[in-house]
Amino acid sequence: MFISLTINKKFKTLIERVDRYRSDALSFSNRTIANAGVERIVQHAMAAAENQICAQTVLTPLDEFAARRAEQASRMLKEAR
């Protein structure tokens, strides 16, 4: 019984230490990402993508796009044979 308690205490200590290291690593990663301006870069990329989507002059309904794409795939399969 004493050995079991000693092992459980050591295991608990190990888990607590690992949790501290993980927390420190997460904090370091968050600081590194914040300092690199990644969030700003991602926001800029998202805004640029949204602008490109909104700037399209012809919006194809999904069913038309799917039908056209299926036709193209079918033709490509026939050509590959």
The Cα–Cα gap between 48 and 45 comes to 5
pTM over 0.75: no
Mean pLDDT of the chain: 87
Sign, Cα dihedral of 39, 44, 50, 53: negative
Give the residue numbers spanning the domain of 44.
Answer: 2-80
Tens-place pLDDT, residues 9-50? 888 899 999 999 999 999 999 999 888 888 888 899 999 999
The Cα–Cα gap between 18 and 12 comes to 10
DSSP state of 81: -
Domain total of the chain? 1
For residue 5, what pLDDT band results from cuts at 50, 70 and 90?
low
The Cα–Cα gap between 54 and 49 comes to 9
3-state secondary structure of 58: coil
